[in-house]
Amino acid sequence: MSKRAVLYMRVSSVDQHPESQLHDLRTMAAQRGYEIVREYTDKISGTRAKRPGLDQLLHDARRGQFDVLLVWAFDRLARSVKHFLELLDELTHLQIEFISFRENVDTSGPLGRAMIVIIGAIAELERNLIIERVRSGMRRAKLEGRRLGRPPLNVDVEALIRDRARGLSFGHLAKMHGISCTSVIRVLQQANSQGAAA
């Protein structure tokens, strides 16, 4: 009896199409003699916690509706290494095999399960190194006296306050002073709080 397989695709925005992922996964399932019982798709960012397709997949997994989960790549399934390993742990507990097309990993054997842990650890390390490089760059820029973030606004605060007192709208003030409405509001709020403090 052939194993019941499901496919999970995720694309990060509505202008991307899951068809290429779908083609690869259907081909893989056919080569292995799996019967595809369902396909799940989410068109949403990987960092979002709520994903209707993945939620439905897990719901069906807990009810024993399939034996194998095929995904195109690790990052299509989970939003972080921790989340990925949690999902794998649950699938293993439910005795569901996990197969990734891009990484060529299959958890049906001990080598595949070991590879998952190693890959997870490497991905975590890589992300931590990127974070540390960014922090290091920011520290160096600060030591060299380089300014971080947006340049300061070059605006005549007193003129802005006077114009606002004349009853001009935020939109009008923004055009007059060559800044955004948000900046107008922020400058006026800062001036009010400094005036109140004085």
Task: Tell me if residue 80 is catalytic.
Answer: no
The pair phi, psi for residue 177, each rounded to 5°, is: -100, 0
**Of the listed 12, 13, 100, 169, which one is catalytic?**
12
DSSP H/E element including 151: none
Q: What is the DSSP letter of 69?
A: E
CA–CA separation, 138 vs 158, rounded Å?
A: 34
Q: Could you tell me if 48 and 12 are in contact, meaning their C-beta atoms sit under 8 angstroms apart?
A: no
The pair phi, psi for residue 54, each rounded to 5°, is: -65, -40
CA–CA separation, 29 vs 99, rounded Å?
A: 10
- Which amino acids are annotated catalytic? 12
